[in-house]
């Protein structure tokens, strides 16, 4: 493996209180202490600071779920990069499909956030992915390449060292709003490999072969202890961004252990 695995737990708004978030974070941090792998959790903003305090001395890292591209100003309801840094975040998720498809974020906006993050020493997990209908129309490659081009506009080769890509097909994400009435399941190995190859190839075309070999691409979308091993044994899958199964140590830790 030329790239180190990286795992993230995206907690969304699933733990709406500080107390429940801190408890789950502690369980995960305790169990992670015996595993040598890079992993972060992204709690909801209301719990970020307290979770950060709880896991400070552990090897579990902290991530923001989103942030505004302006450092401060009249932006009601937004989260600042300084707030994320103050809480102890090393990473921020940007362009998650829930931000893109529920809250209307466009690539231009995501690109501004990417630059604000990188300019302020925050690492970025850039999320991309197509919907079921985009895939059915044969647009999987086009959509993902457009999101990469738009979100990474004017990002230098050196800055890519601080970027991780999360390929997350929207149709595989356990989200009833984005996938109404659909039985949600993870991508098959073939589907995941096809998409990860598209992403890797985009980096070859835009930054060259050696840069593309270094960029880490997580798979996200219904990753669980039962399917993680097979997904993670694929050449172009360098970890996972995990929603539901990251909420508890009982399901998150076995996923991390499946790389052994
Ligand atoms: C996600 O939203 O990033 C995600 C991968 O969710 P889940 O694992 O619940 O499908």
Residue at 1 is within a domain: no
| Cα 249–Cα 250–Cα 251 angle in degrees, nearest 5 | 90
Is 32:253 a contact under the CB 8 Å cutoff? Answer: yes
The answer to whether residue 77 sits within a structural domain is yes
Give the separation between CA 135 and CA 39, rounded to whole angstroms. 30
Most ligand 1 atoms within 8 A of CB, residue of 66, 222, 245 to mutate: 222
Question: What whole-number distance in Å separates Cα of residue 27 and Cα of residue 106?
Answer: 36
Three-state SS for 163?
A: strand
Atom number in ligand 1 closest to CA 173? 10
Contact status, residue 80 vs residue 122, Cβ threshold 8 Å: no
- Domain count of the fold of the chain: 1
Q: How far is the CA of 117 from the centre of ligand 1 (A)?
A: 23
**Beta bridge pairs of residue 123:** 91
Along the chain (260 residues), what's the average pLDDT of each consecutive run of 10 residues? Answer: 92 97 98 96 98 98 98 97 98 98 97 98 98 96 98 98 98 91 92 98 98 98 98 97 98 96
97 close to 66: Cβ distance less than 8 angstroms: no
- Positive or negative: CA dihedral 184, 186, 189, 195: positive
Q: In this structure, are strands 216-220 and 163-167 parallel, antiparallel, or unpaired?
A: parallel
Q: Is residue 215 part of a domain?
A: yes
What are the Cα distances from residue 214, in Å, to 52, 92, 93, 207, 250?
Answer: 29, 20, 19, 11, 31
Which residues, 6 or more positions from 166, have their beta carbon under 8 angstroms from its beta carbon? 8, 93, 125, 126, 127, 128, 217, 218, 219, 220, 241
CATH code at position 48 = 3.20.20.70
The helix/strand/coil state of 147 is helix
Q: Do the beta carbons of residue 63 and residue 92 sit within 8 Å?
A: yes
* Full residue range of the structural domain in which residue 28 is found: 6-257
Give a yes or no: residue 195 inside a domain: yes
Closest ligand 1 atom to residue 8 Cα is 3
Q: Is residue 31 part of a domain?
A: yes
Pocket lining for ligand 1, CB < 6 angstroms? 10, 168, 173-174, 220-223, 241-245
With residue 63 as reference, give the H or E element that holds it: strand 60-64
The protein residue with its alpha carbon nearest to ligand 1, atom 6, reads: 243
pLDDT of residue 1: 56
Model pLDDT, residue 260: 87
Determine the length of the chain.
Answer: 260
- Asked if the structure places residue 178 within a domain, the reply is yes
Output the pLDDT for position 240: 98
Distance 234 CA to ligand 1 centre (A): 19
3-state secondary structure of 3: coil
Q: Which residue has the tokens 């709690």?
A: 43
pLDDT given at position 143: 98
How many other C-beta atoms lie within 10 A of the C-beta of residue 73? 8
Instruction: Write down the pLDDT at residue 203.
Output: 98
């Amino acid at each position: 493996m030329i790239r180190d695995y990286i795992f993230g737990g995206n907690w969304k708004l699933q733990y709406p209180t500080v107390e429940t978030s801190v408890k789950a974070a502690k369980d995960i941090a305790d169990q992670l202490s015996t595993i040598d792998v890079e992993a972060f959790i992204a709690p909801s903003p209301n719990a970020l600071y307290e979770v950060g305090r709880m896991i400070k001395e552990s090897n579990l890292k902290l991530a923001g779920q989103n942030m505004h591209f302006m450092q401060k100003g009249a932006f009601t309801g937004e989260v600042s990069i300084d707030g994320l840094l103050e809480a102890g975040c090393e990473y921020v998720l940007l362009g998650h499909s829930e931000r893109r498809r529920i809250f209307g974020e466009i690539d231009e906006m995501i690109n501004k956030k990417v630059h604000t993050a990188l300019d302020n020493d925050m690492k970025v997990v850039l999320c991309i992915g197509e919907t079921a209908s985009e895939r059915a129309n044969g647009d999987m490659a086009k959509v993902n390449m457009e999101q990469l081009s738009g979100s990474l506009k004017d990002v230098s080769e050196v800055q890519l060292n601080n970027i991780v890509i999360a390929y997350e097909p929207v149709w595989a994400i356990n989200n009833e709003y984005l996938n109404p009435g659909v039985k949600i399941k993870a991508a098959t190995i073939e589907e995941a490999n096809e998409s990860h190859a598209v992403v890797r190839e985009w980096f070859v075309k835009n930054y060259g072969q050696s840069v593309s070999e270094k960029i880490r691409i997580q798979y996200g979308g219904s990753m669980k202890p039962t399917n993680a091993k097979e997904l993670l044994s694929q050449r172009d899958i360098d970890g996972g961004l995990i929603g539901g199964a990251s909420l508890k140590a009982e399901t998150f830790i076995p996923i991390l252990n499946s790389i052994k």
